[in-house]
Each structure stands twice: as structure tokens, then as C-alpha cells.
């Protein structure tokens, strides 16, 4: 079969960019972690590259994208990609490229989503428990919401849209992170500073770069919406970075580099659901709103004493929720056929709001109960001795740096 060479190449590149986000996340989290827990948090992230791939090929793709029209989950018809020839054309893009590229592209989303959660419980969760967490959470949280939103399931039939994962990725992961924090409790040493801000900067750069594939690639073809999503992504991230910098500067009296980097990630997370549905001016508002909401969420977390170590709930959870709600406000029919609240469509606004809040609540409740169940199989939380020693040595028997390097 003849495929469109340009679109096929674009999707291969977009898939590669999203894959790069997972190592980028590992660097981002690894830099923010204390020096005794760098490898532990990075290994949790990298582990998803292997384990999630196995799950996705075995049955994940099938559960997300086969059968179950209008339902909650698909079926096993395409388990191990049975009945999906490598030369098969992906129907969702008018047959411009092979289905295998779409399978790989969606797999990269599945890889990074549970890895986002790990930043919340850095240095407190055993590796065995995390592996069980990684598997069970995908099957019962991620796969159903992919199917319901992107696989022709319940929420899609209801009229809910999510361009690249505000609900499916960030809201669910962010609230799962908060549930994890509540379950495992506080760190023994909460004053552990980032071990390497330059490493955080490298991770942010890779995430920002990869996010172009995450958002622009979610158009699943090359057209004017692709370029709009690309520019909206950069604009929202940039305005969010500056907003966080200015807010924190005014609040603490110093311009913080980590704050600038964190703000950019908040902007990226928040524009994700709306990137291909809103005009450029709305991306500016979304970017400013992203850092404002996330910064306030982090301050609230600190005031309440929630030990979300790397602010996954504030940045990703609240980012995804805010992005979905603002998509309901700013969506324009002239862009991608969907009107929002400012164009008089209050019904769409309500659907976006209710769906993301419902998804967040489900992810929170399920995650907490799942951790309680896992704890009956293997301890979820590391011992006090292991936590004080650091999970790099206590669990993995490795060090990130030679003695004296830090």
C-alpha cells in the first residue's frame, strides 16, 4: 500500500519525541530528588519504558482501541496485535500511514503517564510495590480513560474532547499522585534540597522539546491544526514560565531558576487538552492561568502539610483539570469544529468540567485503595532505615555519584 511519506515521517518523529519525554522526566525528577534517591526515582521512570511496552503489546492497545464502542473498556481482539498486519493503514488519518505507527505513538503516552506519578512519593515506595502499581494502575485507570475518550468510548460519545491528554494523562496521574502521598505519608527528611538544578534544566528542555510531538502529533496528521497546536504549546509554556518566575519573585523576593522551569512544565501540562481547539490568544491566557493555579496549589499543599515531594498534584493534576475547564471556555468552532462557553456552548463547558473532575476523583479513590491492596501483597512503604539510608543504596545497591562528588 502507498502511504503519505511526509505524514508517515511526521508521525515517526512525533512518536520519537514523546518517547524522549520519559528520559526527560527521569532527568527532571532525578535532579529535584535528594542525592541519596536519584537513581531510585530515575529507575522507576525508565522501568515504565520496558514494562509498559510489554503490557501495551500484550493487551493494552487492544483494551484501549478495539471494541467497546460507547463503553468503558475495549476487548482483547487485538491482543499481541493479532489481526493487525504491519502493512495495515490507520483509518483515523485517512490511511496516510501504517497503524503500527499509531500503536507506537499511543504506547509512548502510556509509558509516561504512570511515570509522572512517581515524583510525588520519591524515596518512600519499595520497587516491588511500584512495579505492581505500574501494572495495575494502567489496567484499571489509564486504559479505561483512553478508551472512553480516544477509543470511541463513553465520554467520546457524550461529547467530551481532550486533544492530547489533560484528562487522560495529567488529571488522572496528578490525583493518583495525591492519593499516593496520603497513603505513604510524609518523608523523614522533608528538607532534602534538589541535588542538581542543571539536571532539572536538562530534563525540562527534553520535556519541552518532546511536548511538541505530544501535542502537535496528537492531530495525527499534518495540517493547519498541527501547526496551531505546536505554536500554542510553546506560547503557553513560555507565558507560564514567566508568570511563575514573577509570582515567586514577588512572593519570596528572589527570581528562582527551578520556579521558571516548573512554570514551563505547568504551562505544557495545562495547554495539552486544548492545544488543537483554541486560538493563539487563548493559549496566552491558559499559560498565565497554568502557573497562577499551580503556584497557588503548591502553596496550599505546603500549608496543609501534604508531602507531594515534586509537586505532581499541583503541576500536573491541577494543570490537567485547569486545561480541560479552560478548553470548555475557549474552544472555537472556527478552529476544530468545537465551540466553548465564550461562543455560547455552556453544555460543552459542563461536559468538560464534569468529566475531568469525575476522572480525577476516580483516579484518586482507586489509587488509594489499590495501594492498600498492594500493601497486603508486599510492603508499599520503605522502612525508616531504608529511607534514611536512601533508596539508591538500600534498594538498588548503587550510587549516582562517586564519593566526594557532591
Judged against a pLDDT cut of 60, whether residue 405 lies above it is answered with no
- Measured in whole angstroms, the distance separating CA 291 from the mean position of its chain's CA atoms is 16
In this predicted model, what pLDDT tens digit does every residue of 14-25 receive, in sequence order?
999 999 999 999
Cα–Cα distance for residue pair 264/242, rounded to 1 Å: 8
Cα–Cα distance for residue pair 169/275, rounded to 1 Å: 14
What helix, strand, coil percent values describe the chain, rounded to 5?
70, 0, 25
Q: Can you give the pLDDT at residue 43?
A: 97
Is the full-model pTM beyond 0.85? yes
Q: Can you give the pLDDT at residue 93?
A: 84
| Phi, psi at 98, each rounded to 5° | -65, 150
Q: Can you give the pLDDT at residue 47?
A: 97
- Distance in Å from the first CA to the final CA of the chain: 56
Q: Are 210 and 18 in contact (CB under 8 A)?
A: yes
Q: Are 308 and 296 in contact (CB under 8 A)?
A: no
CA-wise closest residue to 262 among 318, 219, 204: 204
- Other Cβ atoms closer than 10 A to 94: 12
In this predicted model, what pLDDT tens digit does every residue of 293-322 receive, in sequence order?
999 999 999 999 999 999 999 999 999 999
Residue 90 DSSP label:
P
Q: Which CATH number describes the domain made up of 5-394?
A: 1.10.3430.10
Judged against a pLDDT cut of 80, whether residue 177 lies above it is answered with yes
Alpha helices in 118-191 (DSSP H): 127-137, 143-150, 154-158, 172-184
Using CB atoms within 10 A of its CB, is residue 279 exposed (0-12), middle (13-18) or buried (19+)?
middle
Q: Can you give the pLDDT at residue 189?
A: 79
Collapsed DSSP state (helix, strand, coil) of residue 227: helix
Q: What angle do CA 63, 67, 68 make, to 5 degrees?
A: 85
Q: Which residues contact 321 (CB under 8 A, 6 or more apart)?
A: 166, 171, 174, 356, 357, 360
Q: Which residues contact 244 (CB under 8 A, 6 or more apart)?
A: 259, 260, 262, 263, 264, 266, 291, 294, 295
Please report the DSSP string for 35-65 in residue order. TTSHHHHHHHHHHHHHHHHHHIIIIIHHHHH
- What is the domain partition of the chain in residue ranges? 5-394
- pLDDT band of 51, cuts 50, 70, 90: very high
Q: Can you give the pLDDT at residue 70?
A: 94
In this predicted model, what pLDDT tens digit does every residue of 70-127 receive, in sequence order?
999 999 999 999 999 999 999 888 899 999 999 999 999 999 999 999 999 999 999 9
Q: Can you give the pLDDT at residue 370?
A: 98
| Phi, psi at 190, each rounded to 5° | -90, 0
Q: Can you give the pLDDT at residue 403?
A: 64
The region, left, alpha or beta by phi > 0 then psi within -120 to 50, assigned to residue 390 is left
Mean pLDDT of the chain: 96
Amino acid at each position: 500500500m502507498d502511504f503519505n511519506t511526509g505524514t508517515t515521517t511526521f508521525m515517526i518523529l512525533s512518536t520519537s519525541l514523546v518517547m524522549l519525554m520519559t528520559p526527560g522526566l527521569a532527568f527532571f525528577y532525578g535532579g529535584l530528588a535528594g542525592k541519596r534517591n536519584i537513581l531510585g526515582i530515575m529507575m522507576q521512570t525508565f522501568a515504565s519504558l520496558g514494562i509498559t511496552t510489554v503490557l501495551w503489546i500484550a493487551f493494552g492497545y487492544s483494551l484501549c482501541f478495539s471494541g467497546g464502542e460507547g463503553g468503558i473498556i475495549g476487548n482483547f481482539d487485538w491482543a499481541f496485535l493479532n489481526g493487525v498486519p504491519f502493512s495495515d493503514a490507520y483509518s483515523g488519518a485517512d490511511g496516510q500511514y501504517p497503524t503500527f505507527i499509531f500503536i507506537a505513538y499511543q504506547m509512548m503516552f502510556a509509558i509516561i503517564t504512570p511515570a509522572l506519578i512517581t515524583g510525588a512519593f520519591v524515596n518512600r515506595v519499595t520497587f516491588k510495590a511500584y512495579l505492581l502499581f505500574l501494572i495495575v494502575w494502567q489496567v484499571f485507570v489509564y486504559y479505561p480513560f483512553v478508551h472512553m475518550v480516544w477509543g470511541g468510548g463513553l465520554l467520546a460519545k457524550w461529547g467530551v474532547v481532550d486533544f492530547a491528554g489533560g484528562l487522560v494523562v495529567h488529571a488522572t496521574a496528578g490525583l493518583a499522585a495525591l492519593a499516593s502521598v496520603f497513603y505513604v505519608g510524609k518523608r523523614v527528611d522533608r528538607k532534602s534540597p534538589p541535588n542538581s538544578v542543571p539536571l532539572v534544566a536538562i530534563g525540562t528542555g527534553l520535556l519541552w522539546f518532546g511536548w511538541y510531538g505530544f501535542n502537535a502529533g496528537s492531530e495525527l496528521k499534518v495540517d493547519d491544526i498541527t501547526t496551531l497546536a505546536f505554536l500554542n504549546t510553546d506560547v503557553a509554556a513560555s507565558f507560564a514560565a514567566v508568570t511563575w518566575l514573577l509570582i515567586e519573585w514577588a512572593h519570596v523576593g528572589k527570581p528562582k531558576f527551578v520556579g521558571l522551569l516548573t512554570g514551563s512544565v505547568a504551562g505544557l501540562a495545562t495547554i495539552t487538552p486544548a492545544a488543537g481547539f483554541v486560538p493563539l490568544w487563548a493559549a496566552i491566557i491558559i499559560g498565565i492561568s497554568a502557573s497562577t493555579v499551580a503556584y497557588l496549589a503548591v502553596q496550599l499543599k505546603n500549608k496543609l502539610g501534604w508531602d507531594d515531594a515534586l509537586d505532581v498534584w499541583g503541576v500536573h493534576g491541577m494543570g490537567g483539570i485547569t486545561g480541560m475547564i479552560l478548553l470548555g471556555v475557549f474552544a472555537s468552532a472556527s478552529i476544530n469544529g468545537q465551540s466553548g462557553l465564550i461562543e455560547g456552548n455552556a453544555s460543552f463547558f459542563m461536559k468538560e468540567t464534569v468529566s475531568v473532575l469525575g476522572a480525577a476523583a476516580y483516579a484518586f479513590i482507586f489509587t488509594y485503595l489499590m495501594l492498600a491492596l498492594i500493601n497486603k501483597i508486599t510492603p508499599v512503604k520503605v522502612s525508616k532505615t531504608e529511607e534514611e539510608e536512601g533508596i539508591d543504596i538500600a534498594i538498588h545497591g548503587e550510587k549516582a555519584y562517586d564519593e566526594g562528588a557532591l
